[in-house]
């Protein structure tokens, strides 16, 4: 059977789309407290906060009749739950807290937050002095090596096998504008 096209017939196509929820973006410095917002309605909602990027992890959950909550030690549901505020507070933000978080009420996502963690770094030294430069990496994964770079060239490689590091025979006191990469 051949399909027949009728030029007098109009065809309308409707696309149904779920409402897309925009991410909330937050930045925080390490060791500072931070609150991520979440509002839920209804009597005694089941609330769950998870971090889903880079890897799924339950952060806090509560079945708030009355106030009972289970969470990791630095995380707490801190809002006025009697008014539907189930905001998540991180008491002291760590570098590894960076990622995407979701608050769900009764299994429905209501808030998604992307958190960027900032490490303020200021190092002051006089010429000829020894200096310690900080290097932060995501330790949720097995970090095998740490590489210090200068002008695109490796100047120091730290591995578990050589805990003191490998230096490319360049005196570390003359290095400027270094950065490190964990891999």
C-beta separation of 130 from 147 below 8 A: no
Q: Are residues 99 and 42 in the same domain?
A: yes
- Total domains in the chain come to 2
Question: What predicted TM-score, i.e. pTM, was given to this entire model?
Answer: 0.62
pLDDT at 124 over 60: yes
For residues 96 and 40, state if they share a domain: yes
More confident of the two residues 166 and 85: 85
**Domain for residue 139, yes or no?**
yes
Stretch among 16-25, 40-49, 147-156 having the lowest mean pLDDT: 16-25
Based on the fold, state whether residues 106 and 130 are members of the same structural domain. Answer: no
Whole domain around residue 136: which residue ranges?
121-183
Indicate whether 55 pLDDT > 70: yes
Residue 73 and residue 89 in one domain? yes
């Amino acid at each position: 059977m051949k399909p027949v096209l009728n030029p007098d017939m109009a065809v309308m196509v409707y696309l149904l789309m779920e409402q897309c929820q925009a991410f909330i973006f937050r930045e925080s410095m390490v060791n500072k407290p931070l609150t991520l917002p979440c509002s839920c309605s209804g009597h005694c909602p089941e609330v769950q906060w998870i971090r889903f990027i880079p890897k799924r992890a339950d952060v806090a959950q509560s079945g708030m009749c009355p106030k009972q909550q289970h969470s990791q030690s630095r995380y707490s549901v801190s809002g006025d739950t009697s008014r539907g505020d189930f905001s998540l507070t991180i008491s002291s933000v760590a570098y590894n807290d960076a990622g995407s978080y979701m608050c769900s009420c009764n299994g429905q996502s209501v808030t998604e937050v992307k958190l960027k963690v900032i490490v303020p770094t200021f190092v002051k030294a006089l010429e000829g002095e020894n200096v310690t430069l900080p290097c932060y990496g995501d330790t949720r994964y097995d970090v095998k090596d740490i590489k210090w770079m200068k002008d695109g060239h490796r100047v120091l490689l730290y591995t578990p096998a050589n805990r003191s590091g490998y230096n490319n025979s360049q005196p570390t006191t003359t290095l400027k504008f270094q950065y490190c990469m964990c891999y």
